Structure 1
């Protein structure tokens, strides 16, 4: 039986008794999780002291606040549902907040030509697949720096790579399947720079379970001197995402180049940037309602609002729908079938909940009757209770009857004909509470389809509870 600080138990009682029912066994498991998580990743001391019985102060509360701030969660100091959700995600074993002695001095390799050695191989993959994954992971970093990496087959290398399990005598034992997947040490002599992968995981070269290339690319960032990033789009974010492209975000590039300088290429490589929800210049690729919520799409990310939370959820599209591409161009919900349809180029995908329906993607020509001159859809919405879906393409709109499964006669029409004042281009659109919300650039128009009048003009990100826009 574990003995936990009274404050932690009190915090859980407060959370569980206010809308998060759980069994006593589940509560104890969550208490165990929070205690160990804060000890491992946020330097919470476990010296057997009785933590003060206070709701709003004390070591546990402060460490929870620190963790919540790092991950962009609502800072409550309580282990609420969103906090527990993050704690249960697979992640890197390197602390987010380390001991002072481990971060002092910004360690780096003095030489730019480094060696690495794979000491042993996981049986989950062919040796050649492991070699390729590690080589590609190093290449991500060499592409943006003066660093080079050479594989050696014997002797001591700068970076030693191994697959181990449990307690492997580095004072950072692995925890079995899930949870802590791998860890690496900052540059230095001895164990410095080495990367360890938990052999209790199932390593793959696809995007099911734990992709070795994706995990290795992150860990080697630590081997080169990078700490964790608070940017959810960065490769150095502590929690792992296993779908989509493996690439360095601009945040990763800025970090590694601050240590080693830029690439020797005449044109410096750049990476994608993570959207900032309260950036007054924020624009969207697509927007749709989904079962009462509104989801906004930008590049490889979604932003989600929820009537029960003030915070905006920002994450990868692939977290919900691994099969969908990044850079979606249009989306709409057809509530009668509980379907959301996503468009990119001349293809579209239909989803229910988190499942892409069988047989997709399909083309927009055979499904909706578009002529071949239409190469992509700019925006779309399905009008509530009528079965009429509007598609916006350049300066025209098309109207599709969901029940007849055909385009309405007389279309396409100029956007200005059906929606006066909106302009000649629509980036995104959705319907909520009987009103249409049109987006173009950083502007949002609230439109009444009954009177055909614009009611308000606001910033595109006005849905995100930003203080200043």
Structure 2
């Protein structure tokens, strides 16, 4: 198919305060010109036929088109240029965004066969060749589990999907831009370059949350190679910006599965064939035993019990005047006006967050922050704020810090304490910077509590530091422990 469409995938780096939009009353002529160019290129109603084509909007006014863009990115829909809108426009990004739910390319190109070949012609030195092979195969399997397509790797000739790692100008008229920014791009199904996927070698490719996770980017690009455009659903794999999520046991999100199945249909699982001679007497002798599964699925972990004597919290914080306690992918919410406890899974309220290692609330901005591994999220009510997750380094942590154990915002000092092993950092939410003198030793600065903190929260002007099954009620002004309590004391246990 001629005129295959190239789509670039980019990572958004979010820097700055966590406050709301600041209006730009009188944007400069340069800002206005850049905004007009941005909207014409990325939010028009006209199709595109080549990687370097420019979209031109002729049907909507500037204000109407600006509202489209603000709605897509979850910004305040004002139709006016403000600081947050200008910041988003300044980010590197991709070309197909003006869609809701899953999207397809114009003309809905697709492969006309069910067995597709792929070949990796150049490997990244960041990973072992065997790891790259296994990761690409895993990314392809995400789709072959959902649709009736199969993939076969070849090491010679021209395959349907050609995969390469290159930097800068690499011969397809869409040069890469160095580290960060554009991560990769792919072409929709078709002849020649159609279906090919190119990865920017200037990135640091990894299999973890550090650097750029190859599996997540590859799975996104393969979606383009199969005919998927971008989705506006933030939890979708085909959302245009990169964010890390746990890849263990990863399956195609619902929005992406519906999109690819709309093109190729759903994969039908094989069923057992009927016995052609149902009346034939069974042969005597021992029946063959079923073969054990080579990789049996692990038994799901049962929900934690709030009144268990062994109850230890992963994290705890207040959110909108209600205490939340996190444990093993679940959380309990204690409603202050009613001595009752409700329990839900974290993902049922905040999709994409599986585990909470630490949490705190910054009440001045009605925002809570959840930490999982090397990333953190901004939360307002039941919504994840745009631009998250962000890496811990955005807070000012050194690269050696890959996990936060506990966090709490101390109201009277307007500082957030972030605990890592036997130390803690003091963070100024107002300025978005770490204070001088970090890190500090817990036992030296906070005498009377354990040198390891599992969770901490503020309640009625006291801090509650938990370690294991117990917690210490603490007067932070006096730096003095008041009493020791059991964690279950908050769980309304009889």
Place the TM-score, normalised by the shorter chain, in its bin: 0.5 to 0.7
Aligned to 1:191, what secondary structure does the other structure show? coil
Asked if the contact 1:251/1:273 (under 8 Å) is kept, the reply is no
CA shift, 1:262, in A, is: 4.8
Post-superposition Cα deviations, 1:347-369, rounded to whole Å, max 9, x if no partner, equal: 99756256799779999xx9874
1:389-446 C-alpha deviation (Å, 9 max, x unpaired): 1368999975223356554236459858xxxxxx718xxxxxxxxxxxxxxxxxxxxx
1:122 is displaced (CA, Å) by: 4.6
Partner residue, 1:95: 96
The 3 A distance-change label for structure 1 pair 85 and 245 is farther
Please say if 1:390 is aligned against 2:390.
no
2:82 corresponds to: 80
Corresponding residue for residue 458 of structure 2 = 381
Equivalent in the alignment of 1:252: 256
In structure 2, the residue corresponding to 1:109 is in which secondary structure?
Answer: coil
Point out where structure 2 has 5 or more consecutive residues left out of the alignment. 1-20, 272-295, 298-344, 351-355, 395-400
Correspondence for 1:340? 416
CA distance in structure 2 between the partners assigned to 1:21 and 1:305 by the alignment: 30
Deviation at 1:132, TM superposition (A): 4.5
Using CA pairs under 8 Å that are at least 6 residues apart, name the structure with larger relative contact order, 1 or 2.
Answer: 2
1:239 shift after superposition? 1.1
> What is the 5 A alignment of 1:271-282?
none
Cα displacement (A) at 1:162: 2.8
| Structural mapping, 1:95-244, within 5 Å | 95-97=96-98, 103-122=105-124, 127-128=129-130, 130-164=132-166, 170=172, 172=174, 174-175=176-177, 178-199=180-201, 201-205=202-206, 207-242=209-244
Question: 1:218 deviation in Å?
Answer: 1.4
Identify which range, 190-199 or 399-408, moves more after superposition.
399-408
Q: Write the mapping of 1:275-314 to structure 2, written as runs, cut at 5 A.
A: 288-290=360-362, 292-296=364-368, 302-305=377-380, 313-314=385-386
Among 463, 467, 475, the alignment partner of 1:401 is 475
**Distance in 1 separating the partners of 2:143 and 2:447:** 44
- Alpha carbons of structure 1 residues 132 and 410: separation in structure 2 relative to 1, 3 Å: closer
Cα deviation for residue 245 of structure 1 reads 4.6
Please report the TM-score for the alignment, with normalisation by the length of structure 2.
0.56
Task: Determine helix, strand or coil for the equivalent of 2:227.
Answer: coil
Q: Judge conservation of contact 1:394–1:424 (CA < 8 Å) in 2.
A: no
Determine the structure 2 residue equivalent to 1:456: none
Three-state SS of the structure 1 residue aligned to 2:37 is helix
- CA–CA distance in structure 2, aligned partners of residues 299 and 257 of structure 1: 34
Q: How many residues align?
A: 372
**Cα pair 2:116 2:160 within 8 Å, conserved:** yes
The question of whether the paired residues in 1 share the 8 Å contact of 2:36 and 2:62 is answered with: no
Query: 2:263 aligned with 1:261, yes or no?
Result: no
CA contact (8 A) 2:47 2:106 kept: no
Distance 2:416 2:78 in 1: 34
SS at structure 2 position matched to 1:187: coil
Specify whether residues 39 and 172 from structure 1 end up closer, same or farther in structure 2 by C-alpha distance, changes over 3 A only.
Answer: farther
Unaligned runs of 5+ residues in structure 1 are 1-15, 278-283, 417-422, 426-469
Whole-angstrom CA distance in 2 between matches of 1:415 and 1:257: 50
